[in-house]
Amino acid sequence: MAGLDIELAGIKMKNPVMVASGTFGYGEEASKFVDLDKLGAIVTKTITLQAREGNPPPRIVETSSGMLNSIGLQNKGVKDFIENRIPFLSKFKTPLIANIAGDSAKDYAELAKILNKEPLIKGLEINISCPNVTKGGMFFCFDPNATEELVRTIRKATSLPLIVKLSPNVTDISLIAKKAEDAGADAVSLINTLMGMAIDIETRKSKLGTPTGGLSGPAIKPIAVRMVWQVAQVVKIPIIGVGGIMTGEDAIEFFLAGASAVQVGTANFVDTQAPIRIVGEIKDYLGENNINNYKELIGNIEM
Ligand SMILES: Cc1cc2nc3c(=O)[nH]c(=O)nc-3n(C[C@H](O)[C@H](O)[C@H](O)COP(=O)(O)O)c2cc1C
């Protein structure tokens, strides 16, 4: 039997396939279709301190090459998450990773402190694609120094493993990844969605309720694989690959580029069984190629 288990950033997983934030809710609805115990880990939708209404509709538009969304971090806040979501998730053995965001470093640190007290949570994924209100609305993810400062602040607030989720909407993602590592991140995940736009030529308005949205799905995979490879050249901490993964073959590409694990996002909207099917397809590939453990693939691209 091919080895698929991994301990990543101190989080023990039975396989390296997680579900990506915002594409699986908090697992409850999805559990009607998917055996949550077969997943490597569950990453929650982004949680903020206070409830957020999110952006005006329409929030999702299908394009000829991927899905464009502008959900806007809608969620009911951390109190609701602890009181109403964690009890359901406690029935499962799969590690739970809480994805968090805030408007300031103080917000993130407070969330990290609150979630540190929840035994079910095995790690935090830090969504840094959020404006820094205390620094004039600049996004944390765009600025290496703001990223470093943010991660250092969160690091002091929690003993939980920190996975910093990077945005592709930057000039040099490897620079941001290195700053996150220097500041104490235990892993990085990449990529979040790519900023995009779709216009209705009859109304001449954005097809979304906001002018721009985030592009995801197979169209972004080559960019995500390239960025994982670039980041793998500069950091020693594990990388989680995300972006357009629909099949086991896609996941294997990410492993070869340097990812230690992957997250499946948009594929969940097309095929509810996608993450579990992908685990099976990785196993088949390992069997067919006489590979005992998938870790042999990590970073093993031939140049
Ligand atoms: C509808 C939707 C909602 C998302 N919400 C979040 C979110 O709340 N937090 C986050 O960090 N990423 C969010 N993402 C980004 C995904 O987690 C993932 O990084 C991105 O979609 C790329 O992977 P994919 O191509 O497999 O979907 C969202 C993506 C989609 C499609």
Domains defined for the chain, CATH in brackets: 6-297 (3.20.20.70)
Dist CA 170 CA 234 (whole Å): 16
pLDDT tens for residues 169-220?
Answer: 999 999 999 999 999 999 999 999 999 999 999 999 999 999 999 999 999 9
Residue with CA closest to ligand 1 atom 22? 243
Dist CA 97 CA 162 (whole Å): 10
How far is CA 12 from each of CA 7, 45, 122, rounded to the nearest angstrom?
4, 21, 9
Nearest to 38 by CA among 79, 1, 93, 84: 93
Q: Are 104 and 49 in contact (CB under 8 A)?
A: no
Lowest-pLDDT choice from 137-146, 152-161, 246-255, 283-292: 137-146
Which residues on adjacent β-strands are paired with residue 293? Answer: 3
Residue with CA closest to ligand 1 atom 23? 243
- pTM for the complete prediction? 0.98
H or E element: which one contains 288?
A: helix 274-288
66 lines ligand 1 (CB under 6 A): no
75 lines ligand 1 (CB under 6 A): no
Q: Are 148 and 103 in contact (CB under 8 A)?
A: no
pLDDT above 80: residue 136: no
Q: Are 116 and 152 in contact (CB under 8 A)?
A: no
Q: Are 242 and 191 in contact (CB under 8 A)?
A: yes
Nearest to 279 by CA among 96, 42, 15, 43: 15
Catalytic amino acids? 130
pLDDT tens for residues 158-183?
Answer: 999 999 999 999 999 999 999 999 99
Instruction: Report the nearest atom of ligand 1 relative to the CA of 224.
Output: 22
pLDDT tens for residues 19-62?
Answer: 999 999 999 999 999 999 999 999 999 999 999 999 999 999 99
Q: Which of 19, 23, 141, 208 maximizes ligand 1 atoms within 8 Å of its Cβ, making it the mutation to test the pocket?
A: 23
